[in-house]
Amino acid sequence: MNAVGFAWRSLVRQPARAALGVLGVAAVGALLFDMLLLSNGLVISMRGLLDSTGFDLRVTATDALPGQGPLVPNAIDRTHDIARLASVRSAVALRFANALVLAGEPRGVYTSLQGVAASGPSHPWTILRGRDIAPDRAEIVVNENTATRARLTPGSRVMLRASCNDGPEALPPVPFDVSGIAQFPFDTPNGTTVAMSLEMLARACGGNESNQADVIMVASQESAGPSVAVADVARLLPELHVMSNAEAVNRFERGGFTYFRQISTVLTAVTLSFAVLLITVLLTVSINQRLGEIAALRALGFSRWRVVADVFCESVLIVGGGGLLSLPAGGLLALALDRILKRIPGIPADVHFFVFEPSALQVHVLLLAGTAVVAALYPIRVVASLPIAATLRDEVVG
C-alpha cells in the first residue's frame, strides 16, 4: 500500500473529522478564490469596458479624470485636428451635463446628458431602436431607462431643461425629437441618459460655452496602436493631457479600486492562515491519537520518510478535496458578492468586480498546494522525531 492509499485509509477511518476538514478547506478556499478574482477583477472589467467603446485614448484639459476638471476649449476644432493624424482612426468630443426631461413621472425624469461632436459617423453608443441623431438637428437619443420612465419612443417630441454648471441656473426648456433608443457603455443599472450633438448641448446650456468639451475620445489606427497615437496627439496638442486606456485603468487602480485590491490581499492572508491552522490541528490531533501505531510501524521497519510521506499525503488529500469543492462554491459566492457590489452608486452595469482569469486559478492552486505543505510541517516534525521505544513504552503505561 503506497503512501496515498495509506493516507486515504487513515482519513476514512475518521469520516466525520475528514469530512469537516475538507468542508473547512472548501469554505475558506471559496473565499480565497473569490479574493483572487476580486484582486484584478475590477481592473480587467473596466479595461474591457473602456476598450469595448472602440476608443483607446482620452484627451483632457488637465490630468483630472474626464468630467472632473476644466473643459477643453476649441474642442470641435481640436477633434478634427486629431482625426486628421495618420495614427488616428476617429475622434469624438464629449461634454457632460445633467438634464430634466419634462415627461413621464410627475416632475419629469432627471438624466445625465452628453453632447458629442464626432469627426466621423460613429458615436460612443449603440442604437437599439430607431436611428442615430442627425447633425444640426434638435434630436436626442435616450437609453432604455429614460425611455421607460419618460414614456418615450423614437419619434416622440419632448421638452428638456439642461443643467450645465454646479451653480444655480434657470435655463429655459428646449424641445427635442427622440430619434432613437440607445445603449450607453457606462450606464449604471438604473441610470438615465440622454445624448445629443455638442452644438445642441451648447444651445440647451444657454448658448454660451460652445465648442468646449470635457474629453476628446480617440480611436487609434490598428496599424499604429495606442502608444503611437498618444505620442502623436501629445506632439500636436502639448497643452492638453493625453491618456491611453491602460493609463486610465492604472489611475482607477491607484484611486478608488485600491480598496478592493487591499481587502483582497488581507482576506487572502486571513483565509490561508485559517486553512493552515485547521489542517495543522486536524493532522496533529489525529497523529497524537495514533502515536503508538506510528511507533509500531517504525519498529516494524517503516522508514522515517515513509511515515512522513503518509502524513504529507493526508494533508494533500484534505486540501486537494477541499480545493476541488472550493471552485464551484467560490463561483457561486462570487456571483452573489458581485451582485452586492454592483449596487455601489455610479458603477456601470457592464462592470464586474469578480472576473475569472486563468492566472487566478493557477495562483489558487499554488496557494492551496503551499497550504498543504505548510500545514503538514508541524505534524511531520512530530512523526519524524518520534522516539520509537519511548513511545511504545508510554503506550503500554498509558
Partner 1 sequence: MNTTESRTEPRTGTRTENSEGRMVNGRIVEATHISRIFPMPAGPVTAVADVTLEIAPADHIAIRGPSGCGKSTLLHMLGCVEPPTAGTLLFRGDDVTTLSDRKRSLLRLRQIGFVFQRFFLLPMLTAAENIELPQSEAKVPKAERRQRTKELLEYVGLTARADHRPSELSGGEMQRVAIARALANKPGLLLADEPTGELDRATGEQIASLLDRVNADGTALVIVTHDPALAERSTRILSMRDGRIDSEAASI
Partner 2 sequence: MGKVWVRCVVALIGAAVITAAAVRAEDTPSVLISRQLSETEHLSVGDVIRLSTSDDGRNVRPFRIAGVYEPTPDPAKLGAVIREVQLHLPDLLALTREPGTPSGSEYVQTINVALVDPNDAAVFSRDVRARMPGIDAQPAAGAAESTGPFIVLRRFHLAIAIVTIVASTVFLLALTIMLVDERRATVGVLRLIGLPTGRIVTQLFLEGVLIAVVGSVFGLALSLLSEGIINRFFQWRYDTALVFVRVTPQVAAICVAIAVPLGVSATVIASWALLRRSGLRLARR
Residues engaged in binding partner 1 (CB under 8 A): 1-2, 9-10, 12-13, 292-293, 295-306, 388-389, 392-393, 395-396
Q: Which does 345 bind (CB under 5 to 8 A by kind): partner 2, partner 1, none?
A: partner 2
Distance of CA 117 to the CA centre of its chain: 30
Give min distance, CB of 385 to partner 1, in A. Answer: 11
Closest residue by Cα to residue 364 from 331, 398, 332, 395: 331
Give min distance, CB of 381 to partner 1, in A. Answer: 15
Closest residue by Cα to residue 195 from 111, 272, 266: 111
Closer of 112 and 286 to partner 2 (Cβ): 286
Angstrom distance (rounded) from CA 16 to CA 324: 18
Give the CA diameter of the chain. Answer: 100
Q: Which does 170 bind (CB under 5 to 8 A by kind): partner 1, partner 2, none?
A: none
Q: Which does 131 bind (CB under 5 to 8 A by kind): partner 2, partner 1, none?
A: none
Closest residue by Cα to residue 41 from 360, 343, 380, 355: 355
Closest residue by Cα to residue 252 from 30, 41, 87, 398: 41
Q: Which does 112 bind (CB under 5 to 8 A by kind): partner 1, partner 2, none?
A: none
Bridge-based pairing of strands 139-142 and 126-130 is unpaired
Stretch in the footprint of partner 2 (CB under 8 A) among 62-70, 137-145, 306-314, 371-379: 62-70
Q: Establish if 24 lies at the interface with partner 2 (CB under 8 A).
A: yes
Q: How far from each other are the two terminal CA atoms of the chain, in whole angstroms?
A: 30
Angstrom distance (rounded) from CA 37 to CA 353: 8
Closer of 59 and 294 to partner 1 (Cβ): 294
By CB under 8 A, name the one of 216, 267, 295, 351 that touches partner 2.
Answer: 267
- Give the cell for residue 332: 457561486
Q: Which does 324 bind (CB under 5 to 8 A by kind): partner 2, partner 1, none?
A: none
CB distance 229 to 56 below 8 Å: yes
Per-residue contact string for residues 215-244; x = within reach of partner 2 by CB under 8 A: ------------------------x-x---
User: What is the DSSP code (8-state) at residue 263?
Assistant: H
Contacts of 124 (CB under 8 A, 6+ apart): 53, 54, 55, 92, 94, 116, 184, 185, 217
Q: Establish if 13 lies at the interface with partner 2 (CB under 8 A).
A: no
By CB under 8 A, name the one of 52, 63, 155, 303 that touches partner 2.
Answer: 63
Give min distance, CB of 284 to partner 1, in A. Answer: 19
Q: Establish if 110 lies at the interface with partner 2 (CB under 8 A).
A: no
Give min distance, CB of 378 to partner 1, in A. Answer: 21
Angstrom distance (rounded) from CA 355 to CA 360: 9
Q: Which does 293 bind (CB under 5 to 8 A by kind): partner 1, partner 2, none?
A: partner 1
CB distance 122 to 85 below 8 Å: no
Q: Establish if 361 lies at the interface with partner 2 (CB under 8 A).
A: no
CB distance 202 to 211 below 8 Å: yes
Q: Which does 167 bind (CB under 5 to 8 A by kind): partner 1, partner 2, none?
A: partner 2
Give min distance, CB of 396 to partner 1, in A. Answer: 6
Q: Establish if 37 lies at the interface with partner 2 (CB under 8 A).
A: no
Closer of 50 and 318 to partner 1 (Cβ): 318
Give the C-alpha distances (Å, rounded to integers) separating 305 from 242, 298, 319, 378, 379. 62, 10, 21, 15, 13
CB distance 90 to 131 below 8 Å: no
Q: Which does 296 bind (CB under 5 to 8 A by kind): partner 1, partner 2, none?
A: partner 1
CB distance 279 to 375 below 8 Å: yes
Say how many residues make up the chain.
Answer: 398
Binding region for partner 2 (CB under 8 A): 14, 16-17, 20-21, 23-24, 27-28, 30-31, 61-64, 68-70, 166-168, 239, 241, 254-256, 258-259, 262, 266-267, 270-271, 274, 277-278, 281-282, 285-286, 289, 333, 336-337, 340-341, 343-345
